[in-house]
């Protein structure tokens, strides 16, 4: 029976011959179709448009509703969503022109994001850091604290801390972290001593950023914790990100003036590394996900992550790994990274 099954479905069996016959028949119909190059011009035009949007995203103006920043926030999805749809349309239209045009956005997408598809991690490094926007309305702050502490991070940053829940986080994390400081709605927990701790002014009106020096066995590291103002997409106003942009400029200035050579930024920046509005920060720091991650590392929303707006950025140190942590009761995923000092 086994031999008979192999005869029917293996190489050269009736099933294979039938499949090859259908494929040859499809090619013959396409070869004899005189309209194959004339059909699908609209689909081909959309393919070229998607490619140009990805290739020239930095040229899209921010003057009109911050259109450039909005497109850059979800830039990878231009290829992930639209290329398969256009491929189906091209096949349905039996258009060789559209199929060839689709190569353009595919090549551009892989040029921009192909490097993120490979695993670039090389160990855990000297220092493991983690960051998490815990959500001020988190129904289980104690469970969330225990989840992120289980990552084994040496340094942990939390954002969107509700004043009434701070004592819960402090109790839950006290056994794992000897040192900590909470400034406004952000906090830093560390297994190593903290010094020079202070709020960082990011032009919000209350404290949403802080700085502290962590004294590790390998030396001092200046750690910044930040929660950039939220952004919204509104029908009339467009992508309302001006307050975030101003805060990013202020944080970038503070980091540029940092006297400690080794710097780590942990936080919810409400923006991706592609977003030009964060250039004051991203122009001087490296993303651990881009340098040592595996995949895109999307962190928001936790139910279906579509963008990496939570970031671990470094300067003067070498990232060796980066990953997302298991979901908590927050609407963000926690993220972690290993750093070589």
What is the pLDDT at residue 80? 94
At residue 294, the 3 state secondary structure works out as strand
- Above 70 in pLDDT, residue 303? yes
Indicate the fold that domain 127-340 takes in CATH: Deoxyribonuclease I; Chain A (3.60.10)
Full strand arrangement of the beta sheet holding 155-159: 179-183, 186-190, 155-159, 127-133, 335-340, 318-324
| pLDDT class of 6 with cuts at 50, 70, 90 | very low
- Above 50 in pLDDT, residue 5? no
What does the alpha-carbon distance between residue 317 and residue 93 come to, in Å, rounded to a whole number?
Answer: 53
CA distances from 129 to 4, 325, 339 (A): 59, 12, 8
At residue 94, the 3 state secondary structure works out as coil
Domain boundaries, the chain: 33-114, 127-340
- Above 80 in pLDDT, residue 27? no
What does the alpha-carbon distance between residue 282 and residue 314 come to, in Å, rounded to a whole number?
Answer: 10
What does the alpha-carbon distance between residue 310 and residue 297 come to, in Å, rounded to a whole number?
Answer: 9
What are the pLDDT digits (tens) for 103-123? 999 999 999 999 999 999 988
What does the alpha-carbon distance between residue 50 and residue 54 come to, in Å, rounded to a whole number?
Answer: 6
Q: Taking residues 63-83, report their average pLDDT.
A: 88
What is the pLDDT at residue 133? 98
User: pLDDT above 90 covers what percent of the chain?
Assistant: 78
Closest alpha carbon to 157 in 222, 230, 225:
225
- Above 90 in pLDDT, residue 180? yes
What is the pLDDT at residue 176? 96
- Above 50 in pLDDT, residue 251? yes
Phi and psi based region of residue 316 (left: phi greater than 0; alpha: psi -120 to 50; beta: remaining): left
- Above 80 in pLDDT, residue 232? no
What are the pLDDT digits (tens) for 152-169? 999 999 999 999 999 999
Q: Taking residues 72-97, report their average pLDDT.
A: 93
pTM comes to 0.86
What are the pLDDT digits (tens) for 35-59? 788 889 999 999 999 999 999 998 8
Q: Considering only 10-14, 191-195, 304-308, which range has the smallest mean pLDDT?
A: 10-14
At residue 323, the 3 state secondary structure works out as strand
Rounded to 5 degrees, what are φ and ψ at 151?
Answer: -70, -20
Dihedral of the CA atoms 40, 43, 48, 54 (nearest 10)?
Answer: -160
| pLDDT class of 257 with cuts at 50, 70, 90 | very high
Closest alpha carbon to 264 in 202, 330, 318:
318
- Above 70 in pLDDT, residue 31? no
Mean of the per-residue pLDDT values of the chain: 90
Contact 121, 320 (CB under 8 A): yes
Task: Give 198's contacts (C-beta < 8 A, 6+ positions apart).
Answer: 183, 210, 211, 212
What is the separation of C-alpha 264 from the centre of its chain, rounded to a whole number of angstroms?
17
153 secondary structure, DSSP code: -
What is the pLDDT at residue 299? 97
What does the alpha-carbon distance between residue 233 and residue 188 come to, in Å, rounded to a whole number?
Answer: 31
**More confident of the two residues 136 and 29:** 136
What is the pLDDT at residue 29? 64
HEC letters along 193-229 = CEEEEEECCCCCCCCCEEEEEEEECCEEEEEEEEECC
User: pLDDT above 70 covers what percent of the chain?
Assistant: 88
What is the pLDDT at residue 14? 63
**More confident of the two residues 22 and 97:** 97
At residue 177, the 3 state secondary structure works out as coil
Q: Taking residues 329-335, report their average pLDDT.
A: 98
What is the pLDDT at residue 89? 95
What are the pLDDT digits (tens) for 134-154? 999 999 999 999 999 999 999
Scan for tokens 């910044």, then name that residue: 224
What does the alpha-carbon distance between residue 259 and residue 312 come to, in Å, rounded to a whole number?
Answer: 20
What is the pLDDT at residue 32? 61
**More confident of the two residues 222 and 235:** 222
């Amino acid at each position: 029976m086994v031999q008979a099954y192999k005869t029917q479905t293996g190489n050269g069996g009736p099933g294979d011959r039938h499949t090859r016959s259908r494929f040859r028949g499809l090619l013959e119909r396409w070869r004899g179709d005189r309209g194959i190059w004339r059909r699908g011009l609209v689909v081909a035009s959309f393919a070229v448009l998607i490619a140009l949007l990805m290739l020239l995203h930095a040229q899209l103006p921010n003057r009109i509703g911050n259109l450039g920043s909005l497109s850059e926030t979800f830039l990878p999805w231009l290829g992930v969503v639209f290329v398969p749809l256009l491929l189906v349309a091209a096949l349905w239209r039996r258009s060789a022109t559209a199929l060839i045009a689709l190569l353009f956005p595919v090549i551009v997408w892989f040029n921009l994001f192909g490097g993120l598809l490979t695993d670039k991690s090389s160990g855990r490094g000297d220092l493991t850091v983690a960051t998490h926007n815990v959500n001020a309305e988190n129904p289980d702050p104690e469970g969330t604290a225990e989840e992120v502490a289980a990552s084994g991070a040496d340094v942990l940053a939390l954002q969107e801390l509700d004043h009434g829940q701070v004592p819960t986080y402090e109790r839950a994390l006290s056994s794992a972290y000897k040192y900590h400081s909470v400034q406004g709605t952000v906090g830093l927990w560390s297994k190593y001593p903290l010094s020079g701790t202070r709020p960082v002014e990011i032009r919000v009106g209350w404290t949403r950023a802080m700085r502290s020096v962590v004294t590790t066995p390998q030396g001092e590291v200046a750690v910044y914790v930040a929660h950039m103002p939220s952004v919204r997409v509104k029908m009339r106003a467009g992508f309302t990100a001006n307050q975030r942009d101003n805060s990013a400029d202020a944080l970038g200035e503070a980091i540029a003036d940092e006297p400690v050579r080794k710097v780590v930024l942990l936080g919810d920046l409400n923006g991706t590394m592609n977003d030009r509005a964060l250039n004051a920060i991203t122009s001087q720091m490296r993303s651990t996900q881009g340098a040592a991650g595996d995949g895109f590392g999307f962190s928001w929303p936790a139910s279906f992550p579509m963008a990496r707006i939570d970031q671990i950025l470094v300067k003067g140190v070498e990232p060796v790994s980066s990953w997302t942590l298991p979901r908590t009761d927050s609407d963000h995923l926690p993220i972690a990274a290993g750093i070589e000092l």
